[in-house]
Structure 1
Amino acid sequence: MVATAAGSYASAVADIANSNGTLEATNADIEKMEKFFGDKEVYNFFTNPTISLEKKREFIDEIVTSLNMQPHMSNFLKLLVDSKRIELIKEIVKEFEVFYNKMTDTELAIVTSVVKLESQHLAQIAKGVQRLTGAQNVRIKTVIDPSLVAGFTIRYGSSGSKLIDMSVKKQLEELASQLEFPDISLAV
């Protein structure tokens, strides 16, 4: 049973995509939507109650065409606009990712580093996470965080419950605690 409205929408999209053989393409479309609606101005446009549904529907047609998305994604976005549920889009994206990962036996690993890591390093990290989890596939999402000083962290598992911390920041914090310097905190 899906507990939230966002989960219900995400489940429906995943089921439709799976049944019509477009799960991979739908996942790619969901990732495009995540980036697109991640833009604050776009999100505010769609959640603004003073903008007409017709203008929002026209904009959806433009989005779907320009991002080369599948027709059922247009229908889905229009459904959200018409039912005044478009504010759930970010949650729907997250929920869809969970369904997609379960359907494809994929483990999501979020790799946080100071600088962008090379693709061969990300591939090595993916292989390591695959060994740890036994998942058939591993998807890597990257995040840049200058406060780590150097190194990286890997978060995986259900809801990111497992963490491998290879950052210099963590090593410095551990060193400070071992030396019993409680007043030392690293500037972020």
Structure 2
Amino acid sequence: MASLHTTTTASFPSIQTPRSLLTHPKPILNLSLSTTTFPSLSLKLTRPRRSAGALGARMVSTAAASYALALADVAKSNNTLDATTTDIEKIDEIFSDPQVFKFFANPTVDAERKKNLVDEIATSSSFQSHTRNFLNILVDAKRIGLVKEIAKEYEFVYNTLTDTEMAVVSSVVKLESQHLAQIAKQVQKLTGAKNVRIKTVIDPSLVAGFTVRYGNSGSKLIDMSVKKQLEEIAAQLDLGDIKLNE
């Protein structure tokens, strides 16, 4: 029987803007990149549920896709795909902070200051060593501005390698783990995926209930929200758009 994994990944409430953006930087650290190399982009995907053609169409010749493949190659060889995915999710959340992203994208900030901040982030977030080194490689290559795009591409590679369906569950309040497990099981039935991973999002506009997005770029939707029911009632009564308090 296919295994099922439910993981809530969207919330990182403890992450705060690193102190290095608010104070004078620490003395320069000598960060060695020799422990991890990214020698090739020839990652072989074995028996993916999605066709190789679909992967090829997605993985066009972009820098973000190439870096994502290289990182997945290292993670796969180290048997740390899951742990690296957790790192990437945290990185995506951290770089969603405009202050953090602006700092790293600023070409006038020297590389050593950026590496100091990488070290602080990696230490506080308990990153894998190759994840820390990967961020430093992006700094040296002046590609750190692509980090959020790389995170999206890495997620696609991970899902393909592990036959995983990603589902985004939006609700007004945090759902209990058993409810998320039931949702994941239903998504598994609909998609035939070996694994299902859940990301949770809080959306007060739904009033009550929840929605589930899955499939390529969230193209499929299960809408169990009160907002939808109210809109359907309004349409049936020809009341026009109901403006809900958000």
Inter-partner Cα distance in structure 2 for 1:54 and 1:81 = 9
Tell me the residue number matched to 1:11.
69
* Whole-angstrom CA distance in 2 between matches of 1:32 and 1:163: 26
Q: Determine if the alignment matches structure 1 residue 139 to structure 2 residue 197.
A: yes
Structure of higher RCO (CA pairs closer than 8 Å, 6+ residues apart): 2
Does residue 128 (structure 1) correspond to residue 179 (structure 2)? The answer is no
Matched residue, 1:172: 230
Out of 11-20 and 97-106, give the one that drifted further.
11-20
| Contact 2:208/2:227 (8 A) holds in 1 | yes
TM-score by length of 1: 0.94
User: Which of 90, 94, 108 in structure 1 is aligned with 2:152?
Assistant: 94
Letter in 2 for 1:108: M
Deviation, structure 1 residue 163 = 0.2
Deviation per CA, 1:132-177, whole angstroms, max 9, x where unpaired?
1111111110111111111100001111110000011111111111
For 1:116 and 1:185, locate their aligned partners in 2 and report how far apart those are by CA, in whole Å. 24
**CA distance in 1 between partners of 2:92 and 2:227 (Å):** 30
The letter of the residue matching 1:111 is V
Superposed CA RMSD in Å reads: 1.4
* 2:169 maps to which of 107, 111, 114: 111
Aligned equivalent of 1:73: 131
Listed as ranges, the gaps of 5+ residues in structure 1 are none
Q: Distance in 1 between matches of 2:133 and 2:242?
A: 55
Q: For 1:47, which of 105, 113, 121 is the aligned residue?
A: 105
8 Å contact kept, 1:112–1:153: yes
Query: Is 1:28 matched up with 2:86?
Result: yes
Unaligned runs of 5+ in 2: 1-55
Confirm whether residue 154 of structure 1 aligns to residue 212 of structure 2: yes
Q: Select the structure that is richer in helix.
A: 1
> Structure 2-normalised TM-score?
0.72
Contact persistence 1:14–1:99 (CA under 8 A): yes
* CA distance 1:185–1:65, change in 2 (3 Å): closer
2:245, 2:119 → 1: CA distance?
A: 46
Give secondary structure in 2 for the equivalent of 1:140: strand
The equivalent residue for 1:57 is 115
1:46 partner amino acid:
F
**Post-superposition shift, 1:184?**
3.8
Q: Percent identity?
A: 66
Residues 7, 95 of structure 1: 8 Å contact kept: yes
Q: Is the 8 A contact 1:173 1:186 kept in 2?
A: no
- Residue 187 of structure 1: CA displacement? 4.3
| Runs of 4+ residues deviating >6 angstroms | none
Determine the C-alpha separation between the residues in 2 that align with 1:176 and 1:29: 44
